[in-house]
C-alpha cells in the first residue's frame, strides 16, 4: 500500500530561478531530497552579471532556497556535484562552497563541463529523516 509518506513528491519553488525545462526543482523520496542542478539565474530567469564569485553565490543561494522549500537546508547535504565551465575557478569555488556547506560538508564531485552561457551549476542530495 502506498500513501503520501512513501510516494515521491516533486517541488517547484518561486524562491529560486525557474527550471529551464520540463523538470522539478526537487524530488522528495523517503528521507532523501534530490535537488536539480541550480544555476546563476535570478527568479526572473535573468543571468547574474559579474564574474565567477557572483555567479557561484547566486547558484548556491538558489540551491539553498530549494532546500528550504523542501523543509531542509544545505547542512543536510550528503552529496553534491559541481559543474564548472573553467577549472581555473576551482579554488574560488572551494572557498564559496565551504561558506554554504559548513563544517560537515557533503561528499563532492567537481566536473569541468560545457555549460550554456554560465560558469557554474550545482546539484545535491539531502538526507532529512521524516518523523
Domain-embedded: residue 37? yes
Segment 120-129, tens digit of pLDDT: 999 999 999 8
Write out the three cell numbers for 97. Answer: 562552497
Q: Which range of residues forms the domain containing residue 38?
A: 9-127
- What whole-number distance in Å separates Cα of residue 99 and Cα of residue 129? 24
- What whole-number distance in Å separates Cα of residue 26 and Cα of residue 76? 14
Residue 130 confidence (pLDDT) above 90: no
Domain-embedded: residue 4? no
How many Cβ atoms are within 10 Å of 18's Cβ, its own excluded?
A: 14
Q: What is the CATH number of the domain that holds 78?
A: 3.30.1330.40
Write out the three cell numbers for 76. Answer: 543536510
Domain-embedded: residue 119? yes
Domain-embedded: residue 52? yes
Domain-embedded: residue 17? yes
Segment 76-127, tens digit of pLDDT: 999 999 999 999 999 999 999 999 998 999 999 999 999 999 999 999 999 9
Domain count across the chain: 1
Q: How far is CA 88 from CA 6, 21, 62, 105, 119, in A?
A: 43, 29, 23, 22, 11
Domain-embedded: residue 99? yes
Helices 90-101 and 52-69 sit at what angle, rounded to 10 degrees? Answer: 30
Nearest to residue 63, comparing CAs of 35, 102, 34, 92? 35
Domain-embedded: residue 50? yes
Segment 67-79, tens digit of pLDDT: 999 999 999 999 9
Domain-embedded: residue 1? no
Amino acid at each position: 500500500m502506498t500513501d503520501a509518506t512513501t510516494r515521491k513528491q516533486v517541488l517547484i519553488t518561486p524562491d529560486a530561478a525557474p527550471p529551464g525545462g520540463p523538470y522539478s526543482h526537487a524530488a522528495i523520496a523517503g528521507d532523501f531530497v534530490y535537488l536539480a542542478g541550480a544555476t546563476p539565474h535570478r527568479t526572473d530567469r535573468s543571468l547574474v552579471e559579474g564574474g565567477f564569485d557572483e555567479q557561484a553565490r547566486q547558484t548556491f543561494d538558489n540551491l539553498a532556497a530549494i532546500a528550504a522549500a523542501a523543509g531542509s537546508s544545505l547542512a543536510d547535504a550528503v552529496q553534491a556535484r559541481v559543474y564548472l565551465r573553467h577549472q581555473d575557478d576551482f579554488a574560488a569555488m572551494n572557498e564559496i562552497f565551504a561558506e554554504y556547506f559548513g563544517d560537515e560538508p557533503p561528499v563532492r564531485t567537481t566536473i569541468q563541463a560545457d555549460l550554456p552561457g554560465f560558469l557554474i551549476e550545482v546539484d545535491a542530495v539531502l538526507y532529512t529523516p521524516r518523523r
